[in-house]
């Protein structure tokens, strides 16, 4: 039986916050005086996003790294971000700000990186997992963009464009390093972030 430590418990909390966030977004109707729901959705999202940094800090500094955490943490991050972008793009209260192509770019980036990592690992030897700086920047940009849309920050559309550009650059960076990893000398390092 796997012991759930503090870091893993925070990750599980983040996973549980995802349906709460979605329910608040779906229930929010701008013309019905539901502004409290939008503010609550913002608070839930920020709590979930901050918990990512907190569980990582606890895992590293208190020696709470586990196989379960290594699997659940990135899954929670990707689910939160991708589900948020999909719902923001399709819900009438937000779809005028979030273009339909944005979740395609963000989700496509994640699927391409995960699929490429799997292929390199499966067919060309063990993959050296190391987070990329552009991957970290993309994660932060995604969170800022989602929060900006939910809170109705002015110029959120510009933040979304910057986020899309960072996602594309990050994907290119991962593909380049994945290609280096696949070379016969296997000198490159790729990682998921």
Domains of the chain by residue range: 6-182
Residue with tokens 């063990």: 126
CATH of domain 6-182: 1.20.120.1760
Kindly give the parts of the chain with pLDDT less than 50.
Answer: 1, 187-193
What is the distance between the alpha carbons of residues 23 and 54, in angstroms, rounded to a whole number?
A: 24
What is the distance between the alpha carbons of residues 159 and 166, in angstroms, rounded to a whole number?
A: 11
Q: 56-91: string of b/e by CB count within 10 Å (b at 16+)?
A: bebbeeeebbbebbeebbbebbbebbbbbbbbbbee
Q: What is the pLDDT of residue 192?
A: 46
| Burial environment of residue 150 by CB neighbours within 10 A (0 to 12, 13 to 18, 19 or more) | buried
**Structural tokens at position 136:** 């970290």
Q: What is the pLDDT of residue 103?
A: 97
Residue with tokens 């699929």: 115
| Residue range 28-68, pLDDT digits in tens | 999 888 999 999 999 999 999 999 999 999 999 999 999 89
Q: What is the pTM of this model?
A: 0.89
Q: What is the pLDDT of residue 191?
A: 44
**Structural tokens at position 131:** 């987070």
What is the distance between the alpha carbons of residues 14 and 120, in angstroms, rounded to a whole number?
A: 30
Q: What is the pLDDT of residue 185?
A: 60
Q: What is the pLDDT of residue 160?
A: 98
Contacts of 187 (CB under 8 A, 6+ apart): 180, 181
């Amino acid at each position: 039986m796997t012991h759930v430590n503090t870091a893993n418990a925070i990750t599980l909390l983040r996973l549980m916050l995802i349906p709460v966030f979605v329910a608040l977004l779906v229930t929010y109707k701008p013309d019905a005086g539901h502004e409290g729901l939008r503010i609550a959705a913002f608070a839930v999202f920020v709590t979930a996003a901050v918990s990512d940094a907190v569980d990582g800090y606890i895992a590293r500094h208190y020696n709470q790294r586990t196989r379960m955490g290594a699997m659940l943490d990135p899954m929670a991050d990707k689910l939160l971000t991708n589900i948020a972008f999909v719902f923001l793009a399709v819900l009438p209260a937000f779809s005028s700000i979030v273009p339909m192509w944005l979740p395609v770019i963000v989700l496509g980036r994640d699927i391409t990186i995960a699929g490429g990592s799997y292929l390199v690992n499966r067919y060309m030897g063990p993959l050296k997992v190391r987070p990329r700086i552009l991957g970290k920047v993309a994660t932060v940009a995604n969170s800022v963009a989602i929060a900006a849309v939910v809170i109705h920050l002015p110029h959120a559309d510009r933040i979304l464009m910057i986020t899309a550009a960072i996602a594309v650059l990050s994907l290119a960076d991962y593909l380049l390093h994945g290609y280096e990893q696949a070379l016969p000398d296997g000198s490159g390092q790729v990682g998921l972030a």
